[in-house]
């Protein structure tokens, strides 16, 4: 299925520390997260191992929210969280 990344999503991605490639990877290989309003949500945990805004983080979790319209995946927004997750999901990058 084709993925259309909304300009709003790309703006948030840049602000929050992710990019178009990771957004597509999350949609294609991430694990499902709970959502509202008829949207679909997926997330994936990536190794980070560097500083962001002066603080060191081991991992980042990218969450993408989207809808499917007429066979097209259209992103709504993306969130990025930094830290360390105890549970590693089968799709996360080790």
State the DSSP string of 18-61: --HHHHHHHHHHPEEE--STT-EEEEEEEEEEEEETTEEEEEEE
Whether the per-residue pLDDT at 88 is higher than 60: the answer is no
Q: Does residue 25 sit within a domain? A: yes
Query: Which structural domain range is residue 19 located in?
Result: 2-83
Q: Does residue 19 sit within a domain? A: yes
Q: Does residue 64 sit within a domain? A: yes
CA distances, 56 to each of 44, 48, 52, 63, 72 (Å) = 19, 9, 6, 20, 37
| Total tally of structural domains belonging to the chain | 1
Q: Does residue 90 sit within a domain? A: no
Q: How confident is the model at residue 94 (pLDDT cuts 50, 70, 90)?
A: very low
pLDDT digits (tens, 9 = 90+) for 8-48: 999 999 999 999 999 999 999 999 999 988 899 999 999 99
Q: How many CB atoms lie within 10 A of CB 73?
A: 18
Q: Which residues of 30-51 are buried (b: 16+ CB within 10 A; e: fewer)?
A: beebeeeeeeebbbbbbebeee
Alpha carbons 89 and 31: distance in angstroms, whole number: 7
Q: Does residue 36 sit within a domain? A: yes
Percentage of the chain surpassing pLDDT 90?
86
Q: Does residue 18 sit within a domain? A: yes
Q: Does residue 11 sit within a domain? A: yes
Q: Does residue 92 sit within a domain? A: no
Q: What is the pLDDT of residue 92?
A: 46
Mean pLDDT for 56-65 is 97
């Amino acid at each position: 299925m084709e993925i259309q990344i909304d300009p709003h999503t790309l703006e948030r991605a840049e602000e929050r520390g992710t990019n178009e490639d990771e957004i597509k990877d999350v949609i294609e290989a991430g694990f499902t997260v709970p959502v509202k309003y008829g949207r679909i949500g997926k997330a994936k945990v990536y190794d980070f191992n560097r500083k962001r805004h002066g603080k060191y983080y081991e991992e980042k979790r990218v969450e993408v929210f989207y809808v499917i319209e007429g066979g097209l995946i259209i992103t709504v927004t993306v969130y990025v969280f930094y830290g360390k997750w105890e549970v590693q999901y089968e799709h996360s990058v080790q």
